[in-house]
Amino acid sequence: MVTPAQRHVFVYGTLRRGEANDINRLRPAPRYLGPARVPGTLYDLGPYPGVILGGAGWVQGEVYAISPELERQLDLIEEVAPVPSGEYARREIDVTLHGAPLRCLVYEIDAQRVTGRAVIAGGDWCRRR
């Protein structure tokens, strides 16, 4: 039997361990691979953050191996499927994990949604408090 290629997701906000939408509470359970970072800017949107990818800054997060079923759940949580809300877009980028690049799914906020919003210094949602 052929199995689908393993997928990975980089989470940087409420899906991180201990946060409001902790990915580890979803089923089927993901497999934690470690802390990671991506180039970008993290914005405070109140109850959750949004990342704009690229640039000179870094955003801290976590990488998980996920199943296709869990990927579909994440698309629903981030409102990119079945009908996209326009707030987030799915991206596939190289994330730095243990000093090496790994291709990951990342949910990027629409740039218009962060106009006038505060940047989270240090790019770490969990340390913003």
CA distance 91 to 105: 6
Cross-strand partners of 21: none
pLDDT of residue 129: 60
> Does residue 71 lie within any of the structural domains?
yes
Helix residue ranges, H only, 7-128: 68-77
DSSP 78-92: TT-SSS--SSEEEEE
pLDDT of residue 2: 37
pLDDT of residue 81: 87
**34-43 pLDDT per residue, tens:** 999 999 999 9
> Does residue 43 lie within any of the structural domains?
yes
Question: What is the number of structural domains in the chain?
Answer: 1
pLDDT of residue 1: 36
Q: Which stretches of the chain drop beneath a pLDDT of 70?
A: 1-5, 129
**3-state secondary structure at position 110:** coil
Token output for 28: 């089927």
> Is the four-CA dihedral 100, 101, 102, 108 of positive or negative sign?
positive
CATH code: domain of residue 51: 3.10.490.10
> Does residue 1 lie within any of the structural domains?
no
pLDDT of residue 83: 82
Quote the domain boundaries for residue 34: 7-127
> Does residue 80 lie within any of the structural domains?
yes
